[in-house]
Structure 1
Amino acid sequence: MGLYVEARMRADLDAVWARTQDPALHQRWDLRFTEIDYLPGAEGEPQRFRYATRVLPGLTVSGTGISAGEKERPDGTRTSALRFASPHPLSLIAEGGGYWRYVPDGEGVRFLTGYDYRPRWGRLGTIADRLLFRPLMGWATAWSFDRLRLWVERDITPERALRRWLAEAAVRAVTVVAACAVPVYGALVGPWGPPASPALFVTPVLAVSAALAALLVPSLPGTPSARRCLRKPPARTRAPRLLATLKG
């Protein structure tokens, strides 16, 4: 699989399963989707669904997929697999597939995913995917997994978690801008300007240090962060056989 994300959650297996398998709950924490709806189908057959992502105000990219789950497995784990495709001409993703695994580990659940997709738009799409879109999708998946973790572990709702992240991102952005602006302002004022506060003569080294701190200091415990997730798959990781049984 092209992308892999794993999060450890100190939560009940049923709670993680419920908030990932119910479309109304899934769309609340997963940054990659705006809407997820099940489509009518025969009982006992794999579940078909429709998904949509609001890219810009007034612009929504949608697609359809098929999924199946194994809630009871001999080893105590659970698995969900899906295939998906989008006919929308603005969707870089043409089609793909992936899985979720739920692995109890004694202290909670290892919730992990592996998925890959085929980009459209020919060579241009391949380059755009490799340089920008795929790294963005990996980050969005990891960030969303940590957002889910906060929900099941600490009862911080996805909406509240997003507000916290936006507030923290704003503080970091202001810190970076201020750290860059202060030495520039001091240089422009020079000896001909009015008397300035000593704070304006912060050295470039201190300004760079402040900017780096704003960018690199870990997020607060109640704020989602992609860094908390494992992004490299363990050795011998394989997609479940369930995925091979799905036909889009």
Structure 2
Amino acid sequence: MRPKALYVETVIRTDLDTLWRHTQDPDLHRRWDLRFSDITPVDGHFRYTSRFLGVTVTGIGVSAANRNWPDGSRTSVLRFASADPLSLISEGAGFWRYTPVGDGVRFVTGFDYGTRWGRFGRAADRVFRPLFGWMTAWSFDRLRLWLETGTPPEEQLLTEPSAARCGRTRPRAKVAAR
């Protein structure tokens, strides 16, 4: 059975351009996202470094597409991969969707990835994937706190952001009544 893709959403009381800048600019992104200790632009793509449980892994990512929609929303699509033998993740893809709502922006991500190390990697992913989803949600709330309160991520207590404030289940499509 294939594991479920990860999904996280939150609403941030800010404007779309500010949220876009804080997620697309590598210098701002690495400040709020627990999953990355460094993000460096390199020749049309970026190199990322992650430190997790004492292990440092590197990989690359590339923006596959950005789109502005007629309803005022935006989507950013990303592909990523790691040749680092220490990385559980071999390659993957995902999206960020920014939808203006009321006095803020609904910020959503969905992503999935393949693992390496065969059977051991699939077993390790049963623990890693929920933790990676939690880290994503916690990071989204950290970003929300930064943009809503002005408190930089480096000044937030580790207990201030909460993954529980973010949705972690993709909404089901509505089925038309027959």
Q: Which of 59, 84, 94 is residue 80 of structure 2 equivalent to?
A: 84
Q: Deviations over 1:3-62 (max 9, x none)?
A: 000011111111101100000000000000011111124xxxxxx1111112356x5200
- Counterpart in 1 of 2:154? 159
1:11-50 pair list within 5 angstroms: 11-41=14-44, 48-50=45-47
2-structure distance, mates of 1:236, 1:94: 30
The answer to whether residue 168 in structure 2 is matched with residue 234 in structure 1 is: no
* 1:43-192 map, 5 Å: 48-55=45-52, 59-70=55-66, 72-130=68-126, 132-161=127-156, 164-165=157-158, 168=159
Question: Separation in 1 of the partners of 2:82 and 2:21?
Answer: 26
CA distance, structure 2, for counterparts of residue 114 and residue 79 of structure 1 = 11
What are the Cα deviations for residues 111-157 of structure 1, in whole angstroms up to 9, with x where unaligned? Answer: 01000000111011101101x10010010000000000001111111
Distance in 2 separating the partners of 1:122 and 1:31: 27
Q: Structure 1 stretches (4+) deviating beyond 3 angstroms?
A: none
Please state how far the C-alpha of 1:72 moved relative to its aligned partner.
2.8
SS in 2 for 1:101: strand
State the SS of the aligned residue for 1:235: coil
**TM-score normalised over the length of structure 2:** 0.91
Distance 1:128 1:85 in 2: 18
* Higher strand residue share: 2
Distance in 2, matches of 1:35 and 1:233, equals 29
Superposed CA RMSD: 1.6
1:150–1:233 CA distance, 2 compared to 1 (3 A): same
How many residue pairs end up in the alignment?
Answer: 171
Q: 2: CA distance between counterparts of 1:16 and 1:68?
A: 19
* Paired residues of 2:64 and 2:79 also in contact (CA < 8 A): no
Structure 1 unaligned residues grouped into runs of 5+ = 42-47, 169-222, 238-248
TM-score, length-scaled by structure 1: 0.66
Normalized per residue, which structure has more helix? 1
The 2-side partners of 1:144 and 1:93 are apart by 19
SS at match of 1:33: coil
Q: Any stretches of 5+ residues in structure 2 without a counterpart?
A: none
